[in-house]
Amino acid sequence: MGSHNDGGAVLRGRRILLVDDEADTLDACTQILRKDGYQVETAVSAREAIQLQRSRPFDLTITDLKMPQVDGLELLKAIKRVDPEMAVVMITGYATVETAVASMKEGAYDYIPKPFTPDELRLVVRNALERQELVGENTDLRERLSGGRDQLLVGDSGAMQRVHQLIARVAETDSTVLILGETGTGKELVARAIHTGSLRASAALITVNCAAIPSDLLESELFGHERGAFTGAIRRKRGSFELAHRGSLFLDEVGALSPALQAKLLRALQEGEVRPVGSEHGIRLDVRIIAATNRDLAEATRQGAFRDDLFYRLNVVPIHVPPLRERKEDIPPLADHFIAQFRRKLPTPVRGMAPAALDLLVSYDWPGNVRELEHAIERAIILAEGEVLDWESFAHLLPSPAGVPGARAGSTRTRRPVTDARDFTDLPSLEKVERDYIMEVLQATRWNRKRASEILGISTVTLWRKVQGERPES
């Protein structure tokens, strides 16, 4: 193990996305990299790659430059829009060195000309990941300013895959989208993903929260006003529609619009132009509308609280973001994501989560959805003292102190006091306890051997020796 790649031990478990339309290249590279301990996922087209990248974090993308439909260069640009810090390595044929240079200008980390040897691949991957480590430590502030990875729409459940597919499909169009879902499900992230994935990405995404602005101010906020339109209007103000020209306008909480504003919005959508308050003339604008609401708008329409003609105008492509309790598979990757996110923001010893803690998170119903999960993890990290969040960190989520899920049968955490044992045959050997605990930590860290070894206080080599033969469950 590792004789050709000693310095790479710390990089084991890093997540690599491989993109190539040729299955043979994909297979060969996957084998080489998996053998070195990386987690590898593959995509046969740029489109599939973008979808994967939106749904979970990767440390490195390796893509073939020449692919039918969307090529590697376009993929590179799309990736950089979603995650500017992502390391991308291009695989180039002999004839495409020129394009390789172009891709370096677009922010690719490096390129490997075909054909390449396994060792050449390993070297490029290692360099890219090592540099990525350094970048990761330095981009904290920039990421916080720009959104960066924090805007990833994490989740790979069937329900979220459908959401990702819809996002990809509508991003290419100018269709009006209505995003529906309970509070905290990620509607705003979906709106951003649509905009950043669209051809309008280089123009602005303007957000107006229709519930947060008093309705007498909302009209001029949306449509702007002329100088002198009302007392206090000392200069002309451009409305959100105008600011979003060529870009997208996100109307958040659209269900909160007053009847008068519903009528004005409907007119603006029908006519493709807006009239600033106090103006004689309309302004023609090119704006893509994305609306969201956590209300049942169809029901509000039936009850007459929301205009049905406006509802149909907005509801061209509805995207339902399901509540978290209906996609519990997303909880572990979301928990990982939030831990990683907070680790980039605040100094903390926390590196992972105990299985019992994760069990608790999965069993909870999350009325506040992803936002509530995000806050629960933030709270746990701030209060944590050790490296691993235990179930106690989330005990406040439990209805009562009884029936705590920490007491799982068979867990090494629930060893009975030794004095209870009549015959000692049910007591495990030290070796078994050690092995169980190692597996517990490995599972908690999603088989990230670097993190696991740090938690266990042993070297990765020792860890590797102790778990020879064990494999991730999935």
Q: Which residue is nearest to ligand ATP (CB)?
A: 186
| C-alpha to C-alpha distance for 358 and 369, rounded to whole angstroms | 16
* C-alpha gyration radius of the chain: 26
Smallest gap from Cβ 289 to ligand ATP, in A, equals 16
Site for Mg ion contains 392 (CB under 5 A): no
Site for ligand ATP contains 165 (CB under 6 A): no
Helix (H) / strand (E) element for 132: namely: helix 118-138
Nearest CA to 175 out of 314, 285, 54 is that of: 314
SS3 content of the chain, % helix, strand, coil (to 5): 50, 15, 35
Smallest gap from Cβ 213 to ligand ATP, in A, equals 14
Task: Write the DSSP string, 33-64.
Answer: HHHTT-EEEEESSHHHHHHHHHHS--SEEEEE
Site for ligand ATP contains 183 (CB under 6 A): yes
Site for ligand ATP contains 153 (CB under 6 A): yes
Binding mask 107-146 for Mg ion (x = CB under 5 A): ----------------------------------------
Site for Mg ion contains 188 (CB under 5 A): yes
426 token code pair: 């049910």
322 contact choice in Mg ion, ligand ATP, none (CB below 5 to 8 Å, kind-dependent):
none
| DSSP label at residue 252 | E
Q: Please identify which residue in 294, 301, 393, 448 interacts with ligand ATP, judged by CB under 6 A.
A: 294
Site for Mg ion contains 372 (CB under 5 A): no
Smallest gap from Cβ 296 to Mg ion, in A, equals 16
Q: Which of residues 342-371 bind ligand ATP (CB under 6 A)?
A: 370-371
CB 73 within 8 A of CB 65: yes
| C-alpha to C-alpha distance for 176 and 315, rounded to whole angstroms | 7
Q: How many residues bind ligand ATP (CB under 6 A)?
A: 18
Smallest gap from Cβ 132 to ligand ATP, in A, equals 20
Helix (H) / strand (E) element for 213: namely: none
294 contact choice in ligand ATP, Mg ion, none (CB below 5 to 8 Å, kind-dependent):
ligand ATP
| DSSP label at residue 276 | -
Smallest gap from Cβ 40 to ligand ATP, in A, equals 22
- Give the interface with Mg ion as residue ranges (CB under 5 A): 188
